[in-house]
Amino acid sequence: MFGFVKHLFKLQFLFILAAVLAGLYRTEIKQFANRHAANYVDNADGETVSLQFKAANEAMLLTPAELSKYNGEDGQPIYLALLGSVFDVTRGIKHYGTGCSYNFFVGRDASVAFISGEFEEYDPQTADDVLSLKPNDLLGLANWKEFYEKEYIYKGKLIGRFYDEQGEPTTYHHKYLALFEQAQIAKAAVDEMRLKYPGCNIEWSEAKGTRVWCTTTSGDGKERAWTGYPRKLFSPGNTNFNCACVPESELDQIDTEGKAAHGDAMFKAYDNCSSRAKECFYRV
Ligand code: HEM
């Protein structure tokens, strides 16, 4: 009996001790939890990430003046912008560093120069004004953007033509996207046309200029049953043309209407080249 009371007393003592210790540590535990919480936040996707991770990974929203400071000098990284998206290209310092071939692009959005190849004059009013570019050029710019997304680090958005102060796409941006979509549709149509009307053989000589002609393997190199006749093929919205081989059965319609039975692609006969000529010559 006495042993049982002693046991109970021991248990009671242990409970009291645990309660006192818990009381003492509560403040410590709370402080630790608070300290931990201060270093961690929820990101836009609702995940808890450290502040350092957030700073390194969250998209930046830069003004043109801020972007211009990321020029690789005084230990700064090298940034450039394309279609309003900012990339860290420090890894490509041999191209973008001071005095290097493509330093022109650094610290600014000079999207148009990716197409024009004009790296001398920088006019902030026009350097990123891409709406008057040709459809194929818009596709070319999108390829450059894909290149930077793949090869370099996306940092965020540039406030200006493509993004507003809240980082939302501007009306201009929406117009650009609509034109880009049209360019993609036009290219898909041309690709489809290319399957139907394969490319011509082409050669150039000083004496005769450019010569175009069709063979049963011209275009994609695959043998086909017909040879065809060379015609200029214009993709919608573009003034430049490619040479396409048109089967004889469609020649009359194409030559009178300028277009094939289906699709928007426009055909034109070569100047000074008769309707059934096997080859045509022209000078640019
Ligand atoms: C519209 C005209 C042009 C533009 C916008 C342009 C742009 C560029 C850019 C941005 C890079 C750096 C790519 C990177 O970050 O890795 C580059 C690299 C290069 N470009 Fe151009 N370029 C143009 C024309 C030319 C021409 C005409 C030549 C040749 C005569 C040329 C030769 C090169 C070479 C050799 C490299 C380096 C490739 C390497 O080391 O990986 N570029 N170009």
Residues 18-33 have pLDDT tens digits of 555 555 455 554 554 5
Distance CA 255, CA 45 (A): 58
Choose the weakest-confidence range: 19-23, 73-77, 165-169, 213-217: 19-23
Distance CA 243, CA 264 (A): 16
Contact (CB, 8 A) for 259 and 233 = no
User: Taking Cα atoms as reference points, which of 204, 189, 259 lies closest to residue 231?
Assistant: 259
Q: What is the mean pLDDT of residues 83-91?
A: 98
Ligand 1 mutation target, pool 102, 103, 112, 145, most atoms within 8 A of CB: 102
Q: Tell me the CA–centroid distance for residue 182 and ligand 1, in Å.
A: 27
Q: Ligand 1, residue 105: give the atom nearest the CA.
A: 10
Q: Is the pTM of this model over 0.95?
A: no
Q: Tell me the CA–centroid distance for residue 84 and ligand 1, in Å.
A: 21
User: 257 pLDDT exceeds 90?
Assistant: no
Please, which contacts does 112-118 make with residues 24 or more away whose CB atoms are closer than 8 Å? 114/82, 114/140, 114/141, 114/144, 115/140, 115/141
What is the signed CA dihedral for 172, 152, 149, 69, rounded to 10 degrees? -10
**DSSP, res 263:** S
| Chain mean pLDDT for the chain | 86
Choose the weakest-confidence range: 58-62, 149-153, 198-202: 58-62
Q: Ligand 1, residue 113: give the atom nearest the CA.
A: 5
Question: What was the pLDDT predicted at 66?
Answer: 97
In the structure, what pLDDT confidence band is assigned to residue 52 with cuts at 50, 70 and 90? very low
Q: What share of the chain has pLDDT > 90, as a percent? A: 66
Question: What was the pLDDT predicted at 30?
Answer: 53
Q: Tell me the CA–centroid distance for residue 148 and ligand 1, in Å.
A: 13
User: 1 pLDDT exceeds 60?
Assistant: no
Q: Could you tell me how far CA 1 lies from the centroid of its own chain? A: 85
In the structure, what pLDDT confidence band is assigned to residue 51 with cuts at 50, 70 and 90? very low
Q: Which residue has the tokens 């211009």?
A: 68
Question: What was the pLDDT predicted at 260?
Answer: 72
Residues 103-158 have pLDDT tens digits of 999 999 999 999 999 999 999 999 999 999 999 999 999 999 999 999 999 999 99
Q: Which residue has the tokens 């043109």?
A: 64
Please, which contacts does 15-21 make with residues 24 or more away whose CB atoms are closer than 8 Å? none
Domains of the chain: 60-189 (3.10.120.10), 197-282 (no CATH)
Q: Round to the nearest angstrom and report the end-to-end CA distance of the chain.
A: 117
Q: What is the mean pLDDT of residues 256-270?
A: 78
Question: What was the pLDDT predicted at 187?
Answer: 87
Q: Which amino acid is at 45?
A: D
Report the nearest-CA residue for atom 16 of ligand 1: 92
Number of H helices and number of E strands within the chain? 8, 12
Report the nearest-CA residue for atom 27 of ligand 1: 117
